[in-house]
């Protein structure tokens, strides 16, 4: 029987701020090697026997980044990306994927549901665990993967394993004393958030325990639409769907839950401390990345993204530098980074959402300077790509080509610009930027006006279907 991987790529990884942002989440970041966590997950399922091309469930705002990362791997040509118009937790996401699979005529397939942002260092053992889980799923079981714990952990839920691999009960995140008791007693596994079941079994069980969720998502699929490799769940219908996790909605209620022990070198990399624990360390227990100088530093994580970071005399400390933010904290306070993100959101600061460099389907832009009435950006357009035909109400723009060739629509005029050539676009003028060449186009954009927000864009034509946004 075929295995259908379902990769859940929602979420933002707020505990990994300032590197992870709402529009640049941890699953697309290279944290432990050259590949991102999403790419590592895709590569892992590609090595499984009988696995179909993956289905990735992702928020609409991350769709182009996700598509680009899958295409970079060149492992599959027929992957599908399901787009959530809003986050509704894991139960609707998984039900929507199962309903989509069933609608394609593959309801008997075994779904392998994996978060996109987990690290697994023993892929061979993982493949063996999948085989055992698939065998149970073919018997009508709802299977979860339980991680064999190697230390008392208060950041994970636990699974009490019963006889014959059945789940005896799910346990909420415990305090340290209880977690230590679980480790000593044995029979308790970390709840990994990975699952295996047939699409038909899942939908039937959800109909018993959470009918509103499965009915909403079945309708959201029925009323959804294809857009190339993308499939959009119907926005209005999904908006009415209850928000719930698959654990609360189903796994804690069903009588058919089973667990497979998986000693697979697993981590959800849910915090900077978790990353430090799994990363390679120097002789003093430090994990350093980027342009970093350490003097008398022990058991610390120091990461530089853009500039030299020098540290002296630190112990058990994390220092994370990005172009617009620096985080410094004791390692054992890594879970509290989320409190900073909450404050940034409450104070409506942009640092929780984007970096200075923002990725778009056509390339990227980097904000070099921003003041009340002007800002300066570096724009990179990929070969053959073009921006939307657009207009701004409140700003004028000056473009200067640094390298490459630009084809510019400026009102009624269409011109080619080479290196060191420029053009001026008054507010209210329809304009478009295109790279007709074979090398990246780089230019400097100077914006001047009373309002410089990204929402001052009126799109008239767009290759990426963004007019409706």
pLDDT digit string, tens, across residues 22-68: 888 899 998 888 899 999 999 999 999 889 999 999 998 888 889 98
- The answer on pLDDT for 272 being more than 70 is yes
Domain ranges in the chain are 3-267, 280-338, 357-461
200-210, pLDDT tens digit by residue?
999 999 999 99
Q: What average pLDDT does this structure show over 244-254? A: 92
- The answer on pLDDT for 101 being more than 90 is yes
**Cis? peptide before 141, omega within 30° of 0:** no
351-402, pLDDT tens digit by residue?
988 889 988 889 999 999 989 899 999 999 999 999 999 999 999 999 999 9
Where does residue 96 fall: left (phi above 0), alpha (psi -120 to 50 degrees), or beta otherwise? Answer: alpha
Tell me the whole-structure pTM to 2 decimals.
0.86
pLDDT of residue 257: 92
Q: What average pLDDT does this structure show over 451-459? A: 90
- The answer on pLDDT for 98 being more than 90 is yes
Residue 469: band (very low, low, confident or very high) from pLDDT cuts 50, 70, 90: very low
327-359, pLDDT tens digit by residue?
999 999 998 999 999 999 999 998 988 889 988
Q: What average pLDDT does this structure show over 298-315? A: 96
Looking at the chain, the whole-number percentage of residues with pLDDT higher than 90 is 73
357-461 — its CATH code? Answer: 2.60.120.10
Cβ distance 387 to 432 under 8 Å? yes
Q: What average pLDDT does this structure show over 153-174? A: 86
What is the fold of 3-267?
Answer: Spore Coat Polysaccharide Biosynthesis Protein SpsA; Chain A (3.90.550)
pLDDT of residue 467: 54
pLDDT of residue 310: 97
Four-CA torsion 45, 98, 10, 189, nearest 10 degrees: -70
Cβ distance 201 to 137 under 8 Å? yes
Q: What average pLDDT does this structure show over 112-132? A: 93
Using CA atoms, how far apart are residues 47 and 342, in angstroms rounded to an integer?
A: 39
pLDDT of residue 430: 96
Q: What average pLDDT does this structure show over 167-183? A: 87
Using CA atoms, how far apart are residues 46 and 43, in angstroms rounded to an integer?
A: 5
pLDDT of residue 9: 93
Q: What distance, in Å, lies between the first and last C-alpha atoms of the chain?
A: 40
Using CA atoms, how far apart are residues 51 and 35, in angstroms rounded to an integer?
A: 21
Cβ distance 79 to 38 under 8 Å? no
For the chain, give the mean pLDDT: 92
- The answer on pLDDT for 468 being more than 80 is no
C-alpha to C-alpha distances, 157 to 140, 154, 170, 243, 246, nearest whole angstrom: 24, 8, 7, 19, 13
- The answer on pLDDT for 466 being more than 80 is no
């Amino acid at each position: 029987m075929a295995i259908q991987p379902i990769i859940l790529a929602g979420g933002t990884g707020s505990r990994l701020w300032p590197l992870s942002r709402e529009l640049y989440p941890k699953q697309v970041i290279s944290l432990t090697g050259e590949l991102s966590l999403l790419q590592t997950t895709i590569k892992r399922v590609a090595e499984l026997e009988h696995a179909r091309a993956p289905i990735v469930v992702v928020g609409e705002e991350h769709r182009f980044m996700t598509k680009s990362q899958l295409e970079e791997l060149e492992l599959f040509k027929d992957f599908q990306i399901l787009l959530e118009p809003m986050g509704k937790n894991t139960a609707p996401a998984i039900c929507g994927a199962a309903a989509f699979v069933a609608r394609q005529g593959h309801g008997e397939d075994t779904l392998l549901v994996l978060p996109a942002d987990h690290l697994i260092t023993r892929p061979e053992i993982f493949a063996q665990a999948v085989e055992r889980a698939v065998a149970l799923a073919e018997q009508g079981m709802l299977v979860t993967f339980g991680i064999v714990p190697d230390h008392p952990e208060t950041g994970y839920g636990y699974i009490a394993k019963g006889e014959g691999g059945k789940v005896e009960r799910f346990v909420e995140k415990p305090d340290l004393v209880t977690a230590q008791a679980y480790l000593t007693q044995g029979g308790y596994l970390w709840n990994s958030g990975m699952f295996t079941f047939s699409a038909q079994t899942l939908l039937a069980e959800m109909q018993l325990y959470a009918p509103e969720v499965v009915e909403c998502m079945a309708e959201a699929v029925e009323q959804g639409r294809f857009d190339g490799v993308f499939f959009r769940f119907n926005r209005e219908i999904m908006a009415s769907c209850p928000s719930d996790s698959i654990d609360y909605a189903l796994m804690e209620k069903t009588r058919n839950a089973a667990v497979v022990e998986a000693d697979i070198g697993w981590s959800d990399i849910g915090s900077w401390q978790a990353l430090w624990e799994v990363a390679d360390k120097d002789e003093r227990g430090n994990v350093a990345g980027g342009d970093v100088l350490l003097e008398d530093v022990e058991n610390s994580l120091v990461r530089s993204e853009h500039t030299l970071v020098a540290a002296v005399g630190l112990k058990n400390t994390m220092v994370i530098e990005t172009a617009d933010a620096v985080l410094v904290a004791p390692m054992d306070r890594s879970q509290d980074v989320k409190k900073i993100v909450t404050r940034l959101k409450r104070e409506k600061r942009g640092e929780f959402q984007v970096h200075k460099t923002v990725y778009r389907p056509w390339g990227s832009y980097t904000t070099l300077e921003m003041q009340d009435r002007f800002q300066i950006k570096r724009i990179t357009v990929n070969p053959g790509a073009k921006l939307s035909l657009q207009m701004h109400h409140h700003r004028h723009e000056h473009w200067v080509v640094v390298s490459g060739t630009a084809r510019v629509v400026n009102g009624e005029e269409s011109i080619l610009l080479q290196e060191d050539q420029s053009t001026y676009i008054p507010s209210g003028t329809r304009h478009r930027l295109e790279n007709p060449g074979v090398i990246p186009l780089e230019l400097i954009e100077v914006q001047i006006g009373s309002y410089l927000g990204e929402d001052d864009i009126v799109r008239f034509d767009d290759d990426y279907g963004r007019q409706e946004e």
